[in-house]
Amino acid sequence: MGQIPTIKPDLRYDYTATLIKDGLYIIGGATPDGKTPNYPFLFLDISIPFDTKQLKWHDLSNLSKNDIVPSHKSAAAIKGGADNNTLFLYGGMNLENNTMSLVCTLNNLSWDTPKINGTPPNGKLFMTPVIDYNGSSSQSYWSSNPSELEVLRQHNTELEAKVAELEVFRQRNTELEVEKAKLEEVWRSRVTLQEKKLPSLKTRMRGSGRN
């Protein structure tokens, strides 16, 4: 595995990060503008001291240049298998309209698509993998988080609720404006009435002064 300390990986999001023994595997993800990042498959050896400001990444992207693991984001990854040496990659959203298997495994730096029995979870995006290690055996559980469509629907529901609150505020503001206008009209009427009474009041006061 050749080390390339000078590479500078693109900023990315929705990638997977899996720790297997003394190695950290970063797979997939997308750049802020939604494109495939450079070096989509990275490995960091954590068995030796490293500087977080100048990480010495291994580029394993050539292992993904096939039909098994195309460019993707929002997948889930976890270690498992015999001795927890196998990386399981599940689901994800393809970035380049290529066919992508639901489950892929990486063992000894070789990708494979295992045969999966049973019924898979409904979703394949934003999954949360959990591993239960018991002696020499391991089991992996996958809990489905909301799909992107469900997340958008939830956001839309929240926005609609905020719009409804804003409409209530606007309605209340309109009512207050109407109430203010009524009070101002009452005040003007009283002022006008007092102004009309003022001449006769002055006349009476002058008459009272002469007597």
* Confidence tier at 31 by pLDDT (50, 70, 90): very high
Whether 13 and 32 have beta carbons less than 8 Å apart is answered as yes
Beta-bridge partners for 141: 130
Own/partner contacts of 105-114, CB < 8 Å, gap of 24 or more, are: 105/81, 106/25, 106/63, 107/81, 109/1, 109/60, 109/63, 110/63, 111/63, 111/64, 111/66, 111/68, 111/69, 112/68, 113/68
Half-sphere exposure of 35 (CA within 13 A, CB side): 6
Could you state, in order of their start, the residue ranges of all structural domains in the chain? 16-145, 147-211
How is residue 168 written in tokens?
């209530």
Which of 87-91, 97-101, 147-151, 199-203 reaches the highest mean pLDDT?
87-91
38-67 pLDDT, tens digit per residue, is 999 999 999 999 888 888 899 988 876 556
Distance CA 50, CA 53 (A): 9
* Confidence tier at 135 by pLDDT (50, 70, 90): very low
CA distances from 3 to 55, 56, 57, 144 (A): 11, 7, 7, 36
Give domain 16-145's CATH number out of 3.30.70.20, 2.120.10.80, 2.50.20.10, 1.10.3720.10: 2.120.10.80
Strands 86-90 vs 103-107: parallel, antiparallel or unpaired: antiparallel
Distance CA 36, CA 10 (A): 9
Q: Give which of 92, 97, 108 is closest to 27, Cα–Cα.
A: 92
Residues 6 or more apart whose CB falls under 8 angstroms from that of 134 comprise none
Sequential DSSP letters for 77-106: EEEESGGG-EEEEE--EESSS----SEEEE
Radius of gyration of the chain (CA): 35
**Between 142 and 114, where is the model more confident?**
114
Q: What is the mean pLDDT of the chain?
A: 80
* Confidence tier at 18 by pLDDT (50, 70, 90): very high
Distance CA 195, CA 201 (A): 10
Distance CA 44, CA 102 (A): 26
